[in-house]
Amino acid sequence: MAKAQSTSGSSWFKQFKQLISKAPADRHGLIEILRESENRNLLDPDILIMIEGALYVSDLKVSDVMVPKVQMTVIQSNASLHDIILTVVDSGHSRFPVIGGDTNEILGILLAKDLLSYYADPEQRGFDLKDIMRPVVFIPESKRLNVLLREFRVKRNHMAIVVDEYGVTGLITIEDVLEEIVGEIEDETDIEEEDNISPRGKNRYTVKAITPIDEFNEIFKTDLNTKEYDTIGGLIVEAFGHLPKRGETLDYAGFNVKVLKSDRRRIQLLRFTRSGQE
């Protein structure tokens, strides 16, 4: 049995080595080789998704994936322990920016686990939020995701506050970056968004492929054709001319469109960015 496994492994390696014997001229060529490897069953589809994600993540900036300021769940610096616990339970998050007067004044980061020792004290004696706040890390919107991921790993930090010249614009976590590589990471606290179209930073939106074209037209004040297709996904597949894979992009109807999630049968999630608003 061991000999059979060794022979199989050797065969796989020889096929893959033969496939990449000629070095690709650019990244596009490399991706084509990897996709051909998947077609020949040399690469698992999930592995291919992660490789492509790792290649594309260097093209993305923090502003592409951050949580906008208006969607941040924050803790007031003068909040009581009871109110803080309610916020933690309701949100399901594990890290929270602590603010002063407003969201432009970020004083620190609260980790939910740091509340456990206080919550175990029924009299809540000696609670002071400032005593358990972690230092806050500020980063620019323009920082590349691959650079940020490396900083997260080296500094063992999991959240950063995003700023521009006018102040705080949002936040980003290590999970946000990893999801660009491996796909959406769901846990027991995640709730599937009911909205077909959701804002994601400045002039960027995630759009479910099943979004009716009429709904898209109404929200974005566009006039996309509804005669041949009912959903925005149908229009985008037609525009590509093939079933696109995750990471593929095109310019369409005044937007730059990127495929965020797809499988062998359909596209599922898209990112729309208004052209000229990068």
Residues 37 and 104 in one domain: no
Answer yes or no: is 212 within a domain: yes
pLDDT tens over the chain, length 278 residues: 444 444 445 555 555 555 555 566 677 777 777 777 777 777 777 777 777 777 777 888 898 888 888 888 899 999 988 889 888 877 778 999 999 988 899 999 999 998 887 766 656 567 888 889 999 999 999 999 989 999 999 998 999 999 999 999 999 999 888 887 776 665 544 445 568 898 876 788 889 999 999 999 999 999 998 788 889 999 999 999 998 877 788 999 999 998 887 766 678 889 899 876 54
- Output the six-digit token pair for 135: 């230092």
Same structural domain, 46 and 150: no
114 and 70 within one domain = yes
pTM of the full structure: 0.58
Q: Within this chain, do residues 73 and 183 fall inside the same structural domain, yes or no? A: yes
Same domain, 67 and 163: yes
81 and 117 belong to one structural domain = yes
Among 37, 59, 81, the domain boundary falls at 59
Which structural domain range is residue 244 located in?
192-274
How many structural domains are present in the chain? 3
Residue 90's CATH number = 3.10.580.10
| Residue whose C-alpha is closest to residue 158's, from 112, 95, 217 | 95
pLDDT for 3: 46
Helix (H) or strand (E) holding 268: strand 267-274
Residue 9 covered by a domain: no
In this prediction, residue 235 carries a pLDDT of: 94
Query: In this predicted model, what pLDDT tens digit does every residue of 171-183 receive, in sequence order?
Result: 999 988 888 777 6
Write out the DSSP string of 201-259: STTEEEEETT-BHHHHHHHHT-----SS-SBHHHHHHHHHTS-PPTT-EEEETTEEEEE
Residues 72 and 139 in one domain: yes
Return the pLDDT at 189. 42
Instruction: Say how far apart CA 110 and CA 103 lie, in whole Å.
Output: 15
Q: Is residue 18 part of a domain?
A: no
Do 130 and 86 lie in one domain? The reply is yes
